[in-house]
Amino acid sequence: MRQIEASTITQTVEKLCIDANYFLGQDVIDALERSLKTEEFCIGQRIIRDILENARIAREELAPLCQDTGFTVVFVELGQEVEIVDGNLKEAITKGVSQGYTKGYLRASIVKDPLKRINTKDNTPPFIHIDAIQGKQLKLTIMCKGSGCENMSRHIMLTPAQGRKEIVDFVVETVVRGGGRPCPPLIVGVGLGGTFEYSAYMAKKSLLRPVSSHHPEPHIKELEEELFEKVNNTGLGPQAWGGRATALAVHVETCPTHIASLPVAVNIECHSHRVKTVTL
Amino acid sequence: MMEKNIVSEEIIHIKAPLDEKTVLSLRAGQLVLFDGIFYTARDASHKLLIELIEQGKPLPFDLQGQVIYYVGPTPARPGRVIGSAGPTTSSRMDSFMEPLLQRGLKGTIGKGNRSQEVIDLLKKYKAVHFSNIGGAAALIAKSIKKCEMVAFEDLGTEAIYRMEVKDFFAVVAYDTTGNDLYMEAIKRYGR
Ligand code: SF4
């Protein structure tokens, strides 16, 4: 067994939270720059330039990219030959989030109870997904995700007969209904198949792929391209003030499903796409 | 489409609080740079403001002519005026609008579309809603020159702050005649 100390996990998570909120990924910057070239509307171009400028200020002045520093989702890939010592995994991650949000001057945006709504003051708890993998590695991926875009996400249980066309309509309708609220340009994550909850998980996981990367299967790549074109033909554009760049990318993930089911989940992500990964 | 609805690159300077002449002259799609004073409020502070109104108690600030910015900033680093401070989603404040408009509120700033009900209320009470760039929070913070706590301190980021702004960028989203930036955008650029 390989031993990893809980405190190492805490320190890693702390740093990932801070880095994610200050340093926009190069894949997002590249996608923004590509969208600037295709944007037809002068004000849309200005918005994209402002978003790029915002990323520069955030990086240079250590100011959070967005005031909604998000809820924290942590995807853990835990090698089966790893033993966590001097603590436990979930507590170590939670402590890392607490320290990261406090030391990094990040906003505490979590309430303890959905009805009583009292702020926990340190953005805990994070939402943790743990996957067991082969080997001696521990991979931690942090996503700090705003709620403006999360709130515009939708889910539907289609029937197999409805198929591809209904999927496309549902995704495009979800983007149009969101309008300016999720801060376009967006990254649209789609989960197809699985079960009710697994489709939503895949939609979120699809957002972890490098922005604008494609699914390896040709028919899914084609679907991504069709969705990308249709979403960018809605006319919403940056911030929904008008234009072409409604989305920077559409990512689709699929998995096996029941003969009677076609679950579709759409997880909407904004341009302030804060994802960081470390393998210990 | 009427020419007045077209978003053009021309930007005008306006002052907050807003005077009546300015409010009536603004049209959806107009880009503006604000100088002056904003008050901040979002979900929890709106709820408390409405409770005060229902109890017949005085509000922590006079709403006459004022502009409310829907924002919950990040904590300021030592030595800085404010943290990052971009807009939050406006439509969550839709149900709180009428009592505030009745008390003289003239402008709101946030991101994203609002309900038809709000568009009608803005017409009725002659007020304007502005949008600014969601997610440009570090850049936007540069146009905030002062920030002080006014009320509901225990709400933290959701408290009411008084902000002094200079060259604060926004677009008129809904004006006093019912024009709608978001609707026009789809009509103009949808394919
Ligand atoms: S949707 Fe994204 S960019 Fe917009 S306010 Fe929320 S976190 Fe920021």
pLDDT of B6 over the 60 cut = no
Residue B140: inside a domain? yes
Evaluate: CB of A20 within 6 angstroms of ligand 1.
no
CB contact under 8 A, B137 and A180: no
Measure CB to CB from residue A108 to each of B91, B137, B156 and give the nearest one: B156
Same domain, A120 and A184: no
Q: What is the pLDDT of residues B90-120, one digit of tens each?
A: 999 999 999 999 999 999 999 999 999 999 9
Residue B81: inside a domain? yes
CB within 8 Å of chain A, chain B residues 41-80: 44, 71-77
Q: What is the mean pLDDT of residues A198-216?
A: 98
Q: What is the pLDDT of residues B116-173, one digit of tens each?
A: 999 999 999 999 999 999 999 999 999 999 999 999 999 888 999 999 999 999 999 9
Domain count, chain B: 1
Same domain, A101 and A231: no
| A145 at interface of B, judged by CB pairs closer than 8 A | no
Same domain, A120 and A223: no
Q: Please list, residue by residue across B157-182, b when 16 or more beta carbons sit within 10 angstroms of its beta carbon and e when fewer do.
A: bbbbbbbbbeebbbbbbbbbeebbbb
Q: What is the mean pLDDT of residues A91-117?
A: 96
**Domain end: A145, A171, A193, which one?**
A145
Residue B167: inside a domain? yes
Measure CB to CB from residue B182 to each of A41, A46, A240 and give the nearest one: A240
**Domain end: A130, A145, A160, which one?**
A145
Measure CB to CB from residue A67 to each of B71, B77, B131 and give the nearest one: B71
CB contact under 8 A, A180 and B44: no
| Residue B4: predicted pLDDT | 43
pLDDT of A277 over the 50 cut = yes
| Residue B9: predicted pLDDT | 74
| Residue B39: predicted pLDDT | 97
DSSP state letters, chain A: -EEEEHHHHHHHHHHHHHHHHHS--HHHHHHHHHHHHH---HHHHHHHHHHHHHHHHHHHHT--SSS---EEEEEEEEETTEEEESS-HHHHHHHHHHHHHHHTT-----BSSTTT--B-SS-PPPEEEEEEESSS-EEEEEEEE-HHHHTT-EEEEE-TTTHHHHHHHHHHHHHHHHTTTT-SSEEEEEEEEE-HHHHHHHHHHHTTSPTT---SSHHHHHHHHHHHHHHHTSS--GGGSSSS-SEEEEEEEEEEE-TT-EEEEEEEE-S--EEEEEE-
CATH of the domain at B76: 3.20.130.10
**Which residue in chain B is spatially nearest to A272 when comparing CA positions?**
B135
Evaluate: CB of A240 within 6 angstroms of ligand 1.
no
Same domain, A7 and A141: yes
Domain count, chain A: 2
Cross-strand pairs, B165: B36, B144
Instruction: Count CB-CB contacts under 10 A for residue B94.
Output: 14
Interatomic CA distance for residues A63 and A55, integer angstroms:
9
Percent of chain B at pLDDT above 90?
A: 92
Same domain, A78 and A184: no
| Residue B8: predicted pLDDT | 66
CA of A172 to the centre of ligand 1 (A): 20
Residue B186: inside a domain? no
Which ipTM did the prediction report?
0.94
Evaluate: CB of A189 within 6 angstroms of ligand 1.
no
Q: What is the mean pLDDT of residues A101-109?
A: 96
Range of the domain at A178: 148-273
Residue A269: inside a domain? yes
Same domain, A10 and A141: yes
Scan for tokens 């972890």, then name that residue.
A208
Same domain, A139 and A252: no
Cross-strand pairs, A131: A77
| A198 at interface of B, judged by CB pairs closer than 8 A | no
Q: What is the mean pLDDT of residues B27-34?
A: 96
Q: What is the DSSP letter of B63?
A: -
Range of the domain at B103: 11-181
Residue B66: inside a domain? yes
| B190 at interface of A, judged by CB pairs closer than 8 A | yes
**Domain end: A97, A130, A145, which one?**
A145
| Residue A69: predicted pLDDT | 97
Residue B58: inside a domain? yes
Same domain, A159 and A254: yes
Residue B1 pLDDT grade (very low, low, confident, very high; cuts 50, 70, 90)? very low
Residue B2 pLDDT grade (very low, low, confident, very high; cuts 50, 70, 90)? very low
pTM over the 0.90 mark: yes
Evaluate: CB of A153 within 6 angstroms of ligand 1.
no
The beta-strand segments (E) located in B17-141 are 31-40, 67-69, 107-110, 128-131
Residue A211: inside a domain? yes
Same domain, A89 and A136: yes
Interatomic CA distance for residues A263 and A114, integer angstroms:
26
Q: What is the mean pLDDT of residues A47-52?
A: 98
Percent of chain A at pLDDT above 70?
A: 100
Same domain, A106 and A224: no
Evaluate: CB of A58 within 6 angstroms of ligand 1.
no
- Name chain A contacts of B40, Cβ cutoff 8 Å: none
CA of A73 to the centre of ligand 1 (A): 16
Same domain, A97 and A222: no
Fill in the amino acid letter for A219: H
Same domain, A11 and A110: yes
Pick the residue of B10, B31, B188, B189 with the most A CBs within 10 A to test the interface with A by mutation.
B189
Residue B190: inside a domain? no
| Residue B5: predicted pLDDT | 44
Distance from CA of B34 to the nearest CA of A (A): 17
Distance from CA of A80 to the nearest CA of B (A): 39
pLDDT of B85 over the 90 cut = yes
